[in-house]
Each structure stands twice: as structure tokens, then as C-alpha cells.
């Protein structure tokens, strides 16, 4: 994989670059946003590691710009412990996953591996569930052949459910996947998103097990 690392801290950046390189990926390390933007416009990356603590704090703009341009490259953001708000905003803006500083480098590789697995690199055959075809790599869904569009949160929910297809996934589990750790939710948001997914993908796409959780049939 080709990875773009955007991190202004020299020590941390170097450590991350070395670690990711050691995991067998090609890393381009940019310390400034405009360099990163330039790199993104010229190279096709398979993953972006984005620090949201950049001095000018405009890391989010880069992410938004990416998504606005229709790019679906996976983005993992890093934030400091206390920046829950920023983290949430990052997820809302289309980030795929996040890491809280200080994080362990092994954790970093784990997340990268997860992303790689999820987006299957070369082969993204498309998962078929009845009339629904999901392509996680390209971020597309079709229902009865007609393309359907999902929002960021809906994707995260769908991914979580498909990651354990056939198994029952608890609400807590989904909540953890949908929202940054530490960010509490004070409503039935999970139910709402399940409802939305059903409206788009079909009533029977997700089945409810009262008191246990949700499940997409194997």
C-alpha cells in the first residue's frame, strides 16, 4: 500500500514512518498541509494518516476537501486525548477510523491492517445480500441494480454489521463503532440509523433480536 502520512511532529512522524515502512508499506511523510494537498492531487494513495493537531488546525479542511472531491481513500485521523469534539467532527467529515494520542505503534499497524483488510486492496468482489450488493472498497451499494447512496454514519454501521455477517451485533458494539470512544450518546441513535439503513437497503436487510442486537442474515 502507498500511505500518505500528515504529521508535523518530527519525532512522532519519523517513528510512524519507520513503523509503517517496516510493515511493508510505502510512506510519504508531509509535515505541512499544502505539501500534503499537493501530494494528494498527484499521487493515488490507498490510505491517509492525518494529524488533526496541525498548527493551523486545518487538517479537517483537507479531509473535507478530499470527500468533497469525491475521493473515497480511507482516512485515519489522530487527535489528542481531550479533543473529543474534533474527533467527532472528523468522523462526521468522513474519516474511517481514529487514533488517540499517545497511541502505541502496534495499535497503528493494527488499524492499518484492519483498513487494508476492509478495503481488500486489489480484489473488491462485492458482497451480495439478497438484492443488495455492497462494495466496501469502492464505497458503493446497489439495490436491485440501482445505485444507492449512504452517508458517513450509515457506512460505518453497514461495515460494522458486515464485519460480523451472520452474527448478532449488540447495540453497544455498534455505538462504539459509530462514535468515537468517550463520546457518549444520549438517545436511540443506533435505532435511528438502523431504521435509515433499512429504508435504503430493504426492510429485511437487518433483523432485530430484541434485547440482544442486530444481525444481517448470512
Partner DNA sequence: ATGTTGGTTTCAGCCTGATGTCAGGTGGGG
Partner DNA sequence: CCCCACCTGACATCAGGCTGAAACCAACAT
The site for DNA (CB under 7 A) is made up of 60, 64, 68, 88-89, 92-93, 149, 151-154, 171, 178-179, 185-189, 191-195, 198-199, 203, 208, 210-213
Q: Which of 71, 168, 200, 202 binds its own copies (CB under 8 A)?
A: 168
* Residue 213 backbone dihedrals phi, psi, to 5 degrees: 160, -155
Cβ proximity to its own copies: between 40 and 150 the closer is 150
Three-state DSSP state, 59:
helix
Cβ proximity to DNA: between 135 and 148 the closer is 148
> From the list its own copies, DNA, none, which binds 185 (C-beta under 5 to 8 Å, kind-based)?
DNA
98 binds its own copies (CB under 8 A): yes
Three-state DSSP state, 123:
coil
Helices (H) and strands (E) in the chain, counts: 8, 11
Short-list 48, 52, 70, CA closest to 61: 52
d(CA 173, CA 215): 12
Phi-psi region of 129 (alpha: psi -120 to 50; beta: other; left: phi over 0): beta
139 binds its own copies (CB under 8 A): yes
Supply the DSSP symbol for 184: -
Per CB under 8 A, residues contacting its own copies are 84, 87-88, 91, 96-98, 102, 104, 106, 110, 114, 135, 137-140, 147, 149, 151-153, 155, 164, 166-168, 170, 172-173, 209-213, 215, 218
Amino acid at each position: 500500500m502507498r500511505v500518505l502520512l500528515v504529521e508535523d511532529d518530527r519525532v512522532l512522524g519519523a517513528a510512524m514512518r519507520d513503523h509503517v515502512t517496516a510493515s511493508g508499506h510505502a510512506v510519504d511523510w508531509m509535515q505541512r498541509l499544502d505539501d500534503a494537498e499537493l501530494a494528494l492531487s498527484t499521487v493515488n494513495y490507498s490510505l491517509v494518516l492525518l494529524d488533526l493537531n496541525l498548527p493551523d488546525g486545518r487538517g479537517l479542511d483537507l479531509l473535507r476537501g478530499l470527500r468533497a472531491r469525491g475521493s473515497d481513500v480511507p482516512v485515519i485521523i489522530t487527535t489528542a486525548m481531550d479533543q473529543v469534539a474534533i474527533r467527532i467532527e472528523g468522523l462526521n467529515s468522513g474519516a474511517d477510523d481514529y487514533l488517540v494520542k499517545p497511541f502505541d505503534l502496534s495499535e497503528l499497524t493494527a488499524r492499518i491492517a484492519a483498513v487494508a483488510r476492509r478495503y481488500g486492496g486489489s480484489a473488491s468482489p462485492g458482497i451480495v445480500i439478497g438484492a443488495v450488493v455492497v462494495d466496501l472498497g469502492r464505497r458503493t451499494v446497489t439495490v436491485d441494480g440501482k445505485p444507492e447512496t449512504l452517508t458517513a454514519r450509515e457506512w460505518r454501521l453497514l461495515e460494522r454489521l458486515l464485519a460480523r455477517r451472520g452474527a448478532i451485533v449488540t447495540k453497544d458494539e455498534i455505538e462504539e463503532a459509530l462514535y468515537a470512544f468517550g463520546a457518549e450518546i444520549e438517545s436511540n441513535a443506533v435505532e435511528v440509523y438502523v431504521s435509515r439503513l433499512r429504508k435504503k437497503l430493504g426492510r429485511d436487510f437487518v433483523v432485530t433480536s430484541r434485547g440482544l442486537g442486530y444481525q444481517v442474515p448470512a
